[in-house]
Amino acid sequence: MREKIDVAEYAPTILRELPSGVLLTASVDGRANPMTIGWGTLGIEWGRELFVAYVRSSRFTHCLIEESGEFTVSVPMRTGEKDHDQRINQILAVCGSKSGRDIDKVAELGLTLVDGEEVAAPAIQELPLTLECRVLHKSEQDEALLPDDLRERYYAADAPHTAYYAQIVSAYLLS
C-alpha cells in the first residue's frame, strides 16, 4: 500500500535522515542498485519540487542514472526499536560500502523492491518514505571553483560529483 504524502510536510524527516544516509536507487534493464547517499537537497526550482542528488562520476549508480534519467530516494523511518533500527543501519552500511558492479546488494540484503509508480527505479520497502525522481538537469561540479579546504577534504583522491536536479514526480509512504 502507498499513502501519498506532501513532500513539504515530510521535508524535516528527509533532511534529518539525509546526513546519516538514505538510499538512492537507479535501475536499468530490471537491475536495481541502491546506493547510500548523505548529500542531497530538497527545493523548488522552475516551479517544481526537486531533489538534487550528488553522485560521483566513478560510481556504478552514476552510469545507471546517466542511462535511465531517473531514480528513487528511500528514507528510513526510524522507530527506536533496536532490531528495526539495526536492520536499517546494516542496509545503509552495505549500500554505502559495496559497489553494484561487484555484488547484487538487493539480493545480498534481502531487500523488498516495490515497483515505482512513475519511474522504472523501485522503492525499497524497508525504507518506506519514497521520492520518485526524474532528472531535469545535471551539472558536473568544477573542483577548481571550490575553496581549498573543501577540495582537499572531499576530492583529494576521488572523482567529482554530478548534481542531478530531479523533479519529484511521486512521493509516498509504503506500508
Characterize the bridge pairing of strands 70-75 and 129-140.
antiparallel
Q: How far apart are CA 112 and CA 28, in angstroms?
A: 17
Split at pLDDT 50, 70, 90, the class of 106 is very high
Which band of pLDDT confidence, cut at 50, 70 and 90, is reported for residue 4?
A: very high
Predicted local confidence at residue 155, as pLDDT: 67
Cα of 126 vs its chain's centroid, Å = 14
Query: What pLDDT is attached to residue 150?
Result: 76
Give just the sign of the alpha carbon dihedral 35, 103, 90, 160.
negative
113-160: pLDDT as tens digits: 999 999 999 999 999 999 999 999 999 887 777 787 877 776 666 778
Q: Which helix (H) or strand (E) holds 87?
A: helix 82-97
Give the whole-angstrom CA distance, residue 54 versus residue 173.
23
Q: Is 46 helix (H, G, I), strand (E, B) or coil?
A: coil
pLDDT of amino acid 79: 86
CB 169 within 8 A of CB 132: yes
Overall size of the chain counted in residues: 175
Residue 32's pLDDT band (cuts 50, 70, 90): very high
Which amino acid is residue 149, in one-letter code? D
pLDDT band at 5 (very low <50, low <70, confident <90, very high): very high
Instruction: Enter the DSSP assignment of 26.
Output: E
pLDDT, position 156:
63
pLDDT computed for residue 19 by the predictor:
95
- Which position has the higher pLDDT, 153 or 10? 10
**What is the Cα–Cα distance from 84 to 52, expressed in whole angstroms?**
28
For residue 153, what pLDDT is reported? 73
pLDDT, tens digit, for every residue of 12-25? Answer: 999 999 999 999 99
pLDDT tens readout for residues 39-92: 999 999 999 999 999 998 889 999 999 999 999 999 999 888 999 999 999 999
Cα 141 from Cα 91, distance rounded (Å)? 28
Mean pLDDT, the chain, integer: 93
